[in-house]
């Protein structure tokens, strides 16, 4: 199957290839991931996702097409809703920064495929600068917000597994070109005065993320090929929407222990 910008997100492409977002779905809930892959569970894009797409499509040079196919970003009188006026202001801010714009100066939405841990993968890069760098654009809530995971502080990059995403991109680009490129997150946030930075993810961190994935992939491949039933997490939107009561429970069952 030859991937293009038209069929990249199609059910056929999702069934034929693994992607980072699929792996993130599998880590969350296997039943949910499979329902999405098969097109049984379709999620409407959220406002934060649409703001991200707005900025992405601006850099890709396809903002007009994006506006045409996304009427929900407009008010009844035809003007942009405030969230997208904000997106427009963010774009204006990014234009004032030379380093940010140079990170975003690569080829846009470049698709590549490759093989990792026994599966075929697809990637689509926001800004690909051949021989130099792979850049992914992120519009986040607050750039310097830290969260805790098992007692460790982490940034939005680890929390959202953007390091895993770029680890996969780096490996697929290496397979296609023989070059190990720098991996950068070009990030901007939605504060009144947006914070912005271009963050180079160390190769050690990328390697660690890819190594961690090695042990999980055989199971995900088995589930995706229907060799093993997909486990239900029991608490996600998909699981709640499709849940069937089988027995009475006790009050203690309502308390989830990690």
**Cα 18 from chain centroid (whole Å):** 13
Segment lying near Zn ion (by CB under 5 A), choices 63-71, 115-123, 181-189, 231-239: 231-239
**73-102: contacts with Zn ion (CB under 5 A):** none
Q: Give, for 242, the enclosing helix (H) or strand (E).
A: none
Name which position in 17, 18, 32, 59 contacts Zn ion (CB under 5 A): 32
Q: What is the DSSP letter of 74?
A: B
Question: Interface with Zn ion by CB under 5 A: which range of 6-14, 76-84, 95-103, 226-234?
Answer: 226-234
Query: Length of the chain in residues, anyone?
Result: 258
Measured from the CB of residue 18, what is the shortest distance to Zn ion in angstroms? 19
Angstrom distances, CA of residue 64 to CA of 67, 68, 82, 104: 5, 6, 18, 19
Q: Which is nearer to Zn ion, 26 or 32 (CB)?
A: 32
**Phi, psi (rounded to 5 degrees) for 236:** -80, 170
Q: How far is the CB of 236 from Zn ion (least distance, A)?
A: 3
For the bound state, the minimum distance from the C-beta of residue 149 to Zn ion, rounded and expressed in Å, comes to 20
Angstrom CA distances, 52 to 56, 98, 199, 212, stand at 6, 21, 18, 28
Residue among 148 and 226 whose Cβ is closer to Zn ion: 226
Give the residue among 160, 157, 159 at the shortest CA–CA distance from 187.
Answer: 157
User: Does residue 41 bind Zn ion (CB under 5 A)?
Assistant: no
Should residue 164 be labelled a site residue for Zn ion when binding is judged by CB under 5 A? no
β pairing state of 182-189 and 133-140: parallel
Minimum distance of Zn ion from residue 25's CB (angstroms) = 10
What count of other Cβ atoms lies within 10 Å of the Cβ of residue 106? 18
Whether the CB-CB separation of 195 and 189 falls below 8 Å is answered with: yes
Rule CB under 5 A: say whether 111 interacts with Zn ion: no
Residue 29 as a binder of Zn ion (CB under 5 A): the answer is yes
Where in 232-251 is the site for Zn ion (CB under 5 A)?
A: 233, 236, 239
Span from 21-29, 48-56, 97-105, 248-256 in contact with Zn ion (CB under 5 A)? 21-29
Residues binding Zn ion (CB under 5 A): 29, 32, 233, 236, 239
């Amino acid at each position: 199957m030859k991937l293009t910008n038209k069929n990249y997100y199609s059910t056929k492409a999702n069934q034929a290839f693994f992607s980072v977002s699929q792996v993130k779905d599998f880590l969350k809930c296997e039943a949910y991931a499979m329902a999405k892959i098969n097109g049984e569970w379709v999620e409407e894009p959220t406002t934060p996702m649409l703001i991200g797409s707005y900025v992405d499509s601006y850099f890709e040079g396809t903002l007009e097409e994006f506006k045409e196919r996304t009427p929900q970003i407009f008010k009844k009188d035809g003007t942009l809703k405030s969230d997208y006026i904000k997106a427009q202001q963010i774009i204006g801010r990014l234009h004032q920064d030379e380093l940010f714009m140079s990170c975003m100066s690569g080829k846009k939405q470049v698709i590549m495929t490759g093989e990792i841990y026994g599966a075929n993968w697809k990637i689509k890069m926001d800004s690909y600068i051949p021989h130099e760098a792979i850049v992914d654009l992120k519009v986040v809530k607050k750039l310097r917000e830290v969260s805790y995971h098992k007692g460790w502080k982490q940034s939005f990059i680890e929390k959202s597994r953007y390091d895993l995403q770029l680890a996969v991109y780096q490996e697929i680009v290496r397979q296609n070109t023989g070059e190990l490129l720098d991996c950068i997150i070009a990030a901007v946030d939605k504060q009144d005065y947006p914070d912005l930075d271009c963050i180079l993810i160390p190769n050690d961190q990328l390697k660690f993320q890819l190594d961690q994935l090695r042990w999980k992939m055989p199971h995900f491949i088995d589930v995706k090929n229907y060799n093993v039933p997909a486990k239900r997490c029991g608490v996600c939107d998909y699981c709640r929407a499709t849940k069937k009561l089988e027995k009475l429970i006790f009050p203690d069952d309502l308390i989830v222990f990690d």
